[in-house]
Structure 1
Amino acid sequence: MTINEKQDSIVEEFSIFDDWMDRYQQLIEYGKELPPIAEQKKTQQYLIQGCQSKVWLDAELRDGKIYFTADSDAIITKGIVSLLIKVLSGHTPDEILNTELYFIDKIGLKENLSPTRSNGLVAMIKQMKAYALAFKAKNDGNS
């Protein structure tokens, strides 16, 4: 599945909810499905700066694709990072760097977040793209 197909699937899932309380509930459900980050990675090194709540994010490159793990101490934030992982995990650094994450606006996520959560969302995306950039640079250096 391409990144855009994953985004379209999320947009479709969220379109059945008229009410933002239902969408928040869906976000919480996504958070529960989040593959857990290793406990030893819940350190300052993996903490995303710019998030009001604590969000730890890690990434590893396997067979040319990046796989993310994360956790958060806030249930809505955990749901948000879970959505980002659902969309971006399992793709190449180039795919991640060249993608536009349009699903965030399409499901109305950005406009329904508090400014601090919205800044956190931007920080999470920035960190995921930074991992992609680092893996790409490392790969380009090896070829």
Structure 2
Amino acid sequence: MSTEQAKAELIEEFGFFDNWMDRYQYIIDLGRELPPLPDEWKVAQYRIEGCQSNVWIHHQREGDVLHFDATSDAAIVAGLIAVVMRIYNDRSAEEILATPPDAFKQLGLEQHLSPTRNNGLHAMLAHIYQVAEREARG
């Protein structure tokens, strides 16, 4: 599935809910489905600065794609990570760099998140783009 297809699928899923309380619950449920992050990756080296909650993102190259593992100690933030992973995980560096973060506006997340959560979301995206830029340069 392409990043565009992943974004379209998320937008469709969010459209099933009539209000933001249901969407928040869906985001939290998505976060509960994240695979556990090994404790050895829950260290300062993988912690994302700019997030109010603790967020850790570990990445590795698997062939031509970048694989990210991530989690947070906050339920809603873990859900935001799950949304980010649906779009950006297991993609080539070039595909990540060619994918604008417009899905979050289309989902209405930016206008419904607190300023600190918005900052955290942008910090996670910035980290993923930085990793992709480094990997694309070789």
Helix, strand or coil for the counterpart of 1:56? strand
Residue 34 of structure 2 corresponds to 34
CA shift digits 1:69-101 (9 cap, x unpaired): 001010000000111011111110000011112
Paired with 2:131 and 2:36, the residues of 1 have a C-alpha distance of 18
In the alignment, is residue 43 of structure 1 matched against residue 43 of structure 2?
A: yes
In 2, are the aligned partners of 1:3 and 1:88 still within 8 Å (CA)? yes
Q: Following the alignment from structure 2 to structure 1, what is the Cα–Cα distance between the partners of residues 32 and 118?
A: 21
What is the CA-CA distance between 1:36 and the residue it aligns to?
2.2
Partner of 1:69: 69
1:107 corresponds to: 107
- The unaligned stretches of length 5 or more in structure 1 are 139-143
- Matched residue pairs, number? 138
| Alpha-carbon contact 1:97-1:133 (below 8 Å) kept | yes
Report the more deviating stretch, 123-132 or 101-110. 101-110
Deviation at residue 21 of structure 1 after TM alignment = 0.6
Moved over 3 A (4+): none
The offset of 1:14, in angstroms, is 0.2
Report if aligned partners of 1:48, 1:56 keep a CA contact under 8 Å in 2: yes
Aligned twin of 2:128: 128
Amino acid in the other structure paired with 2:18: D
Q: Displacement, 1:35?
A: 2.0
Cα pair 1:94 1:136 within 8 Å, conserved: yes
Gap regions ≥5 residues in structure 2: none
TM-score by length of 2: 0.97
Give 1:117's aligned residue: 117
Q: Which residue of 1 aligns with 2:12?
A: 12
Give % identity.
38
RMSD (Å) for aligned C-alpha atoms? 0.8
